[in-house]
């Protein structure tokens, strides 16, 4: 299938945003979206309907805070959605939004310096309009860069993350269909194999499981608060092991809304993908009896039939808020202390 019209529409949408100001962004968003455009964003924005609501909730305040905003994409692709039997067309963009952090945003104090916020955007396109968008972005990354880290030390490394090692993620033109199908098979093989090893074998068994679908030099580009990690064994030690120990209680997979691939890249998102309970310690939280949702995006790069890179976006602020910790409210209190009483 030719995805060029859908790709061109989303690129025009991005150009309209780039040319807009905080005052004109609503009109810019209207040009390429449906009247009942369904937009999903991270906490505290959640779900919005229509360009005016999206502009008011997210884009106008963000453009007010970030001077001279640039979109710096590393992956751009389109494909058919496996979840609805390959009927709907989705266009995906991933990279950073870069600006000068000049005014407060969400209670985060401005730095006056460059701010790089990771983003990924899934857009469902039909009849020349964007009907649905899931936009995940890393607000904690903005906090940390501005010197206001709300989290305990990460298990991985906090970085401004680069694009794919192969530098072939910007697929503005058509791609060989067989390559995308092979990438989707690699992603599905990993999902089907997940958790298949006897856990009593410990790290050795887990490493063998991962090696069936991952290359040994894998890179896991995790969100701020968790961090990035490199190679299978360091991934187990610096993320997956602590994650499994702290969050295995009451684990429930809720499914995906979109899963697709093009070229050597692919991925999925859910709303929410996972529901799990914190047994204590994860991201500094005490044990909680309340199950909490994780809204997650995974993007992958395939190489020689296995996965080599994985970019992860998690709505961590929403997950913590469901456990009773409102990180943004705490940021606002720190930014505006009261000395009365």
Residue 264 token pair: 């050597």
Domain boundary residue among 95, 121, 145? 145
Q: List C-alpha distances in Å: 185 to 20, 132, 303.
A: 40, 25, 12
> Cβ distance 259 to 189 under 8 Å?
no
Residues 207 and 269 occupy one common structural domain: yes
Domain boundary residue among 123, 145, 167? 145
The span from the CA of 3 to the CA of 261, in Å, is 12
The span from the CA of 62 to the CA of 108, in Å, is 12
| First-to-final CA distance of the chain | 67
Within-domain flag for 153: no
Backbone angles phi, psi at 334, to 5 degrees: -70, -35
The span from the CA of 113 to the CA of 29, in Å, is 27
Within-domain flag for 334: no
pLDDT at 94: 98
Closest alpha carbon to 93 in 267, 230, 219: 267
pLDDT at 214: 97
* CATH number (domain holding residue 76): 3.10.450.50
Residues 247 and 117 occupy one common structural domain: no
Residues 212 and 289 occupy one common structural domain: yes
* Rg over CA atoms, the chain: 20
Residues 141 and 181 occupy one common structural domain: no
Residue 283: partners with Cβ closer than 8 Å, 6 or more residues away = 151, 152, 225, 226, 316, 320
The span from the CA of 328 to the CA of 150, in Å, is 9
Within-domain flag for 339: no
Q: Is the Cα torsion angle 173, 179, 185, 188 positive or negative in sign?
A: negative
Beta strand 214-221 pairing with 129-137: unpaired
The span from the CA of 29 to the CA of 50, in Å, is 9
Which residue's entry shows tokens 């809720």?
A: 254
Rounded to 10 degrees, the C-alpha dihedral 55/61/63/64 comes to 140
**Digitized pLDDT (tens) for each residue of the chain, 341 residues in all:** 899 999 999 999 999 999 999 999 999 999 999 999 999 999 999 999 999 999 999 999 999 999 999 999 999 999 999 999 999 999 999 999 999 999 999 999 999 999 999 999 999 999 999 999 999 999 999 999 999 988 887 788 888 899 999 999 999 999 999 999 999 999 999 999 987 776 666 788 889 999 999 999 999 999 998 999 999 999 999 888 887 777 766 678 999 999 999 999 999 999 999 998 887 777 777 777 788 899 999 999 999 999 999 999 999 999 999 988 899 988 766 555 443 43
Residues 187 and 313 occupy one common structural domain: yes
Residues 112 and 211 occupy one common structural domain: no
Residues 221 and 77 occupy one common structural domain: no
Residue 14 token pair: 């991005």
Residues 187 and 323 occupy one common structural domain: yes
Within-domain flag for 162: no
> Cβ distance 93 to 72 under 8 Å?
no
> Cβ distance 99 to 127 under 8 Å?
no
Residues 312 and 218 occupy one common structural domain: yes
Residues 228 and 110 occupy one common structural domain: no
Within-domain flag for 92: yes
The span from the CA of 145 to the CA of 153, in Å, is 14
Residues 128 and 260 occupy one common structural domain: no
Domain boundary residue among 145, 164, 195? 145
Domain count, the chain: 2
Residue 59 token pair: 């884009």
Which structural domain range is residue 224 located in? Answer: 177-329
Within-domain flag for 244: yes
The span from the CA of 241 to the CA of 238, in Å, is 7
Closest alpha carbon to 298 in 253, 321, 260, 267: 267
Within-domain flag for 160: no
Within-domain flag for 341: no
Residues 52 and 95 occupy one common structural domain: yes
């Amino acid at each position: 299938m030719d995805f060029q019209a859908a790709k061109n529409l989303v690129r025009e949408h991005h150009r309209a945003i780039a040319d807009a100001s905080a005052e004109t962004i609503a009109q810019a968003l209207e040009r390429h979206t449906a009247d009942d455009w369904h937009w999903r964003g991270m906490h505290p924005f959640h779900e919005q309907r229509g360009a005016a609501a999206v502009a008011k909730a997210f884009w106008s305040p963000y453009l007010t805070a970030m001077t001279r905003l640039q979109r710096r994409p590393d992956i751009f692709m389109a494909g058919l959605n496996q979840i609805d039997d390959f009927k709907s067309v989705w266009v995906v963009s991933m990279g950073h939004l870069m600006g000068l952090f000049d005014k407060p945003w969400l209670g985060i104090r401005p730095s006056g310096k460059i701010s790089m916020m990771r983003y990924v955007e899934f857009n469902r396109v039909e009849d020349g309009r964007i009907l649905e968008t899931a936009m995940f972005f890393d607000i904690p990354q903005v906090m940390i860069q501005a010197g206001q880290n709300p989290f305990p030390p990460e298990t991985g490394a906090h970085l401004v993350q680069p694009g794919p090692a192969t530098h072939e993620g910007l697929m503005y033109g058509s791609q060989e269909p067989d390559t995308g199908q092979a990438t989707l098979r690699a992603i599905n093989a990993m999902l089907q194999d997940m958790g298949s090893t006897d856990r009593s074998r410990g790290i050795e068994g887990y490493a063998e499981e991962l090696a069936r679908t991952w290359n040994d030099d894998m890179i896991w580009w995790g969100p701020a608060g968790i961090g990035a990690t490199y190679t299978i064994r360091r991934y187990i030690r610096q993320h997956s092991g602590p994650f499994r120990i702290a969050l295995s209680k009451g684990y429930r997979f809720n499914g995906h809304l979109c899963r697709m691939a093009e070229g050597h890249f692919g991925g999925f998102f859910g709303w929410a993908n996972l529901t799990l309970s914190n047994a204590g310690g994860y991201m500094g939280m005490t044990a909680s009896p309340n199950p909490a949702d994780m809204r997650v995006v995974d993007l992958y790069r395939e190489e020689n039939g296995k996965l080599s890179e994985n970019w992860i976006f998690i709505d961590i602020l929403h997950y913590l808020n469901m456990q009773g910790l409102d990180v943004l409210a705490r940021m606002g209190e720190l930014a505006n202390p009261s000395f009365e009483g």
